[in-house]
Amino acid sequence: MNTNKREPLIFLKSAEVCGAKSEESLVFEDALHCIRTAKKARFNVCAVYDESSEEVTEPPESDWKRILSISDYSVKSLKEITSDMVRGNG
């Protein structure tokens, strides 16, 4: 498969391999362009903070602010997710 994260195919094929539907799946991503692609393919998205997200590639807002506006969920670290799982909250 010759594709990249700017094309929905990479996310759709990943879901297919797992036997899942896009609308029933959750993609964890840290890059604005990847999040846009996953949303275009009808995936739910959990944004994962990365320092590079503070860049302003599309003024006037930082990428992180744009990411938050289109993501379904967000975490500052993947540790937030594993911590909740250990406590039995997820």
**Mean pLDDT score, 42-71:** 96
The CATH class given to the 9-87 domain equals alpha beta
36 CA to centre of own chain: 8
Name the E strands within the chain.
26-29, 44-48, 73-75
Please give the pLDDT value at position 6: 84
Residue 90 has pLDDT above 60, yes or no: no
Please give the pLDDT value at position 1: 66
What would the two tokens of residue 35 be?
Answer: 């999040």
Residue 70 has pLDDT above 60, yes or no: yes
Task: Give the start-to-end residue ranges of the domains of the chain.
Answer: 9-87
**81 three-state secondary structure:** helix
Residues with Cβ within 8 Å of 4's Cβ and at least 6 positions away in sequence, in order, are 10
What's this model's pTM, rounded to 2 decimal places?
0.84
